């Protein structure tokens, strides 16, 4: 049988066709517009997502036996607000995860309602990207639209609805709405009350691997597929990407060293830190996960190489870096502010410690190390919750650098594994489809059979000790400069 994985991203949808053995048969990408009506705003038309999906699936499946397609599932950009009226028509363009208009609503939730209270309801604090602040914004600024709301949905869930006719969501994506009781896996009545919503306006909640229905006849005809194709709930992009890297089960970890940096830790048990520095969400494997997000990971190195040094020869710039743990230059990788653990949009990128002896290679090394130290901030919070991590998987563009992998291994004091797949979210979605269709008994079983470690970078105890000392210095730099950052805005 064949399974379709859909990765509904911010700029495009990526579609992947996988067979029972995990072999990728075809990949298709379709782009769609992104709109910026005002500075700091970010919106999309949900109908554009569906049109791109229909066109892409036709291309994806043109050469296969369509009767062999058993299921379809999703990875979706999180936090986006899609609101439907009583006729299931989109009321207004979707407000996306990277839209920044809701600072006043977040301040109201965190400061007036209270961060501790919000966290007790949802296990998280309010951030501008989350869905609940967007709904409060619509209630205040577009009351006529708010009054029309029959259903509140997330981006991928709108696609699932268009395919199946079922208003559905899953626990991992719902966790990022600030409307969901993560610990008990249900809608938070308190948060719905705060936002002026009723539970019947929310979608039915499924586990990420559960079947929500089958293709409606209308959708089947549009796609040219049998109406027997099962629609599986899917999940938020980070959770499904974690499935695609095999980061499921107790204490597994994956580091995404992409434009942003993500530390994703899967857990059998619910946990939340006192300061809400880590996101505490449900996982696509039926359990939970912790997640730390830094905003400029590989983006920091790209900025340094492209804009400052003026080169595309990244590996050449790294070849003279050999003395790990012995660099006296430090770099704060806060070029776009920072989320975990500081949650401070005013934080800025900073070099410190240069002398007349400092070389270009020292500066390059400081950038790579600064990102690794910032990732360690998330690790330290996880450790404070009793999570013990001995190895991590790594993916993203930065993971192509053996030196950077070595730095990460020693800064975090963990073994760093690379796996046999780089497809992440779309592959994870296809795995969820296979589990939902009964090919595998669980997400964990599927990933154990389909995903293999192909390379491991191990830490050196001597370098680990050097980096432990360097990290103690690094973590003092931000608190020292915080007030100065605020004055620079």
**Average pLDDT, stretch 113-128?**
95
pTM for the full model?
A: 0.91
Indicate whether 45 and 160 sit together in one domain.
yes
Name the residue range of residue 85's domain.
Answer: 2-239
Confidence of residue 5 (pLDDT cuts 50, 70, 90): very high
Domain final residue, candidates 189, 209, 239? 239
Asked if residue 81 has pLDDT above 90, the reply is yes
pLDDT reading at 388 higher than 90: no
Same domain membership, residue 258 and residue 125: no
> Taking residues 342-352, what's their average pLDDT?
92
Which has the closest alpha carbon to 133: 92, 177, 197, 173? 177
Q: Kindly state whether residue 262 falls inside one of the protein's structural domains.
A: yes
The binding site for substrate comprises: 78-79
Binding residues are: 78-79
pLDDT confidence of residue 439? 97
Residue 423 scores a pLDDT above 90: no
Residue 435 pLDDT > 90: yes
pLDDT digits (tens, 9 = 90+) for 475-487: 999 999 999 998 9
In a domain, 454, yes or no: no
Q: What percent of the chain has a predicted confidence (pLDDT) above 90?
A: 90
Residue whose pair of structure tokens reads 């390059």 in the numeric block: 364
Question: For 159, left (φ over 0), alpha (ψ -120 to 50), or beta?
Answer: alpha
User: What distance lies between CA 275 and its chain's CA centroid?
Assistant: 20
Report the chain's C-alpha Rg in angstroms. Answer: 22
Residue 431 lies in a domain: no
- Whether 86 and 216 map to the same domain: the answer is yes
250 pLDDT band, cuts 50/70/90, is: confident
Structure confidence by residue, pLDDT tens digits, 266-277: 998 898 988 888
Statement to judge: residues 219 and 293 lie in one domain? no
Judge whether 426 lies within some domain: no
Residues 201 and 266 in one domain: no
Mean pLDDT across the chain, nearest whole number?
95
Is there a single domain that holds both residue 209 and residue 338?
A: no
Q: Are 9 and 106 members of one domain?
A: yes
Domain boundary among 239, 263, 280: 239
Mean pLDDT score, 194-210: 98
Residue pair 89/70 in contact (Cβ under 8 Å)? The answer is: no
Residues 487 and 378 in one domain: yes
Q: Residues 183, 78: one domain?
A: yes
Same domain assignment for residues 71 and 137: yes
Give a yes or no: residue 331 inside a domain.
Answer: yes
Q: Beta-carbon neighbour count of residue 259 at 10 Å? A: 16
Higher-pLDDT residue of 404 and 383 is 404
Domain shared by 179 and 290, yes or no: no
User: Is 441 inside any structural domain?
Assistant: no
pLDDT at residue 402 is higher than 90: yes
In a domain, 62, yes or no: yes
Is 414 part of any domain?
Answer: yes
Q: Active-site positions?
A: 237
Residue 392 pLDDT > 90, yes or no?
A: yes
- Give the end of a domain, one of 239, 268, 292: 239
pLDDT tens digits for range 60-69: 999 999 999 9
Angle at 188 between CA 184 and CA 189, to 5 degrees: 130
Length of the chain counted residue by residue: 489
CATH, residue 268 = 3.30.420.40
Of 117, 488, 216, 225, give the one whose Cα is nearest residue 337: 488
Total number of domains constituting the chain: 2
- For residues 220 and 129, membership in a common domain is answered with yes
């Amino acid at each position: 049988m064949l399974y379709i994985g859909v990765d509904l991203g911010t700029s495009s949808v990526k579609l992947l066709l996988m067979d029972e053995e995990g072999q990728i048969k075809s990949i298709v990408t379709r782009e769609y517009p992104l709109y910026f009506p005002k500075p700091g705003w970010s919106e999309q038309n949900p109908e554009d997502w569906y049109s791109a999906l229909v066109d892409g699936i036709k291309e994806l499946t043109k050469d296969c036996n369509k009767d062999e397609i058993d299921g379809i599932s999703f990875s979706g950009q999180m936090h986006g607000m899609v609101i439907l009226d009583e006729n299931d028509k989109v009321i207004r363009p979707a407000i996306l995860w990277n839209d920044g208009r809701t600072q006043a609503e977040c301040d109201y939730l965190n400061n007036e309602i209270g961060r501790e209270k919000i966290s007790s309801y949802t296990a998280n604090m309010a951030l501008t990207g989350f869905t609940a602040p967007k709904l409060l914004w619509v209630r205040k600024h577009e009351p006529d639209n708010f009054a029309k709301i029959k259903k509140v949905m997330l981006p991928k869930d709108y696609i699932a609805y268009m395919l199946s006719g079922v208003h559905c969501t899953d626990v991992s994506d719902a966790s990022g709405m600030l409307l969901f009781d993560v610990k008990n896996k249900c809608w938070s009545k308190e948060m719905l009350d705060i936002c002026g919503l009723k539970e019947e306006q929310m979608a039915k909640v499924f586990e990420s691997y559960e079947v929500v229905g089958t293709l409606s006849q209308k959708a089947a005809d549009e796609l040219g597929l049998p109406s027997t194709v099962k629609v599986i709930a899917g999940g938020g992009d980070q959770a499904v990407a974690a499935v695609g890297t095999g980061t499921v089960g107790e204490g597994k970890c994956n580091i995404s060293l992409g434009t942003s940096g993500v530390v994703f830790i899967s857990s059998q048990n619910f946990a939340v830190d006192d300061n809400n520095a880590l996101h505490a969400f449900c996982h696509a494997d039926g359990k939970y996960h912790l997640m730390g997000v830094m905003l400029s990971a590989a983006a920091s190195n790209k900025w340094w190489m492209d804009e400052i040094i003026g080169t595309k020869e990244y590996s050449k710039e790294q070849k003279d870096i050999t003395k790990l743990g012995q660099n006296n230059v430090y770099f704060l990788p806060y070029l776009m502010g920072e989320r975990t653990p500081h949650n401070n949009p005013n934080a800025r990128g900073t070099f410190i410690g240069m002398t007349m002896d400092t070389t270009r290679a020292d500066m390059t090394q400081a950038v790579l190390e600064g990102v690794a130290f910032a990732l360690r901030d998330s690790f330290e919070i996880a450790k404070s919750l009793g999570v013990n991590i001995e190895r991590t998987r790594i993916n993203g563009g930065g993971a192509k650098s053996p030196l950077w992998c070595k730095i990460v291994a020693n800064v975090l004091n963990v073994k760093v594994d690379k796996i046999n797949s780089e497809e992440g979210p779309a592959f994870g979605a296809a795995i969820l489809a296979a589990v939902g269709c009964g090919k595998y008994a669980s997400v964990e079983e599927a990933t154990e059979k389909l995903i293999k470690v192909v390379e491991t970078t191990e830490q050196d105890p001597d370098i680990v000790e050097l980096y432990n000392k360097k990290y103690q210095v690094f973590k003092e730099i931000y608190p020292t400069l915080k007030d100065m950052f605020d004055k620079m805005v």
